[in-house]
Amino acid sequence: MPSISDEPIHQRLSDLFRGKISSGDWKEGKPLPSEAELCTRHGVSRGTVRQALASLRSEGMVTGGRGKPPVVARPVPSQSFATFMSFSEWAHSLGREPGQRTVEIARRPAGEDLAGRMGLRPGEPVIQVLRLRSLDGKPTMVERSNFIAEVGNALFGFDTDSGSIFGYLTSRGVDLTRGRHVIDAVGADATDAELLGVGPGSALLREHRLTYAADGRILECSDDRYLPHLANFVIENTRASRAALVRVPLVA
């Protein structure tokens, strides 16, 4: 594996700049030091500084450009692909307060499409949960979860407004071992628009998830829709250690 010293200078510099933003040394809404100052301070060329700043712009950490001085952007909470967690665990890891409001919990027969995704026979019962999730009281995501009946029946004895469903099920010994996640974009439907306070058709960031037990059984299938300015997903990889990321072509 390459050492830190083997990394390109602009990459090491962008890591340093990220640290300054994360630590609060460079504060939100404030301009960064000038390119000339950064060149002198770090003994690098203007091109290297610009490459480092371009990385931060692509990640949404810095705004500005085309004659405008770079400014530290308002941070968007990110969740790493390496450690997908429940919404509540993710929020707590950021020092934010998760919230939830249950719109519906019901037992229904699985339709043909859902049954196919979950490896069930059409008409087999599933437990469906529709919740609005929030960060620090701000509506953030509409959560649509479908559990096999064996697992989901336990939720009728749980106050789904009280906290993490995954946390509750895990505490009862449910084996939520592995997840498969597909991220795409979708327009808000009428339910999304009402709950998130956006217009119908507004762009949302969608996470499709299948959650598996250790024996390979699918226990849950979800469709979670995030406001894109309040959450994003991050994946990191190197040439020596490639992440398990698959690009899936869209079928019209």
> Residues for the chain: how many in total?
252
Residue 236 has what pLDDT? 58
Residue 23 has what pLDDT? 76
- Tell me the fold of 78-234: Chorismate lyase (3.40.1410)
Residue 76 has what pLDDT? 52
SS3 176: coil
Encode pLDDT of 68-84 as tens digits: 778 887 655 544 444 45
The CATH number of the domain covering residues in 4-72: 1.10.10.10
Residue 198 has what pLDDT? 93
Encode pLDDT of 81-139 as tens digits: 444 557 777 777 777 888 999 999 999 999 999 999 999 999 999 999 999 999 889 99
Residue 83 has what pLDDT? 45
Answer yes or no: are the C-beta atoms of 118 and 158 closer than 8 Å: no
Angle between helices 46-58 and 35-42 (to 10 degrees): 110
Smallest CA-to-CA distance from 166 within 152, 184, 149, 180 is with 152
What are the Cα distances from residue 7, in Å, to 20, 59, 232?
19, 19, 26
Instruction: State pTM to two decimals.
Output: 0.64
Q: Point out the residues of the chain with pLDDT beneath 50.
A: 1-5, 78-83, 245-252
Residue 251 has what pLDDT? 42
Q: Where are the domains of the chain?
A: 4-72, 78-234
Residue 250 has what pLDDT? 46
**Position 215, amino acid:** D
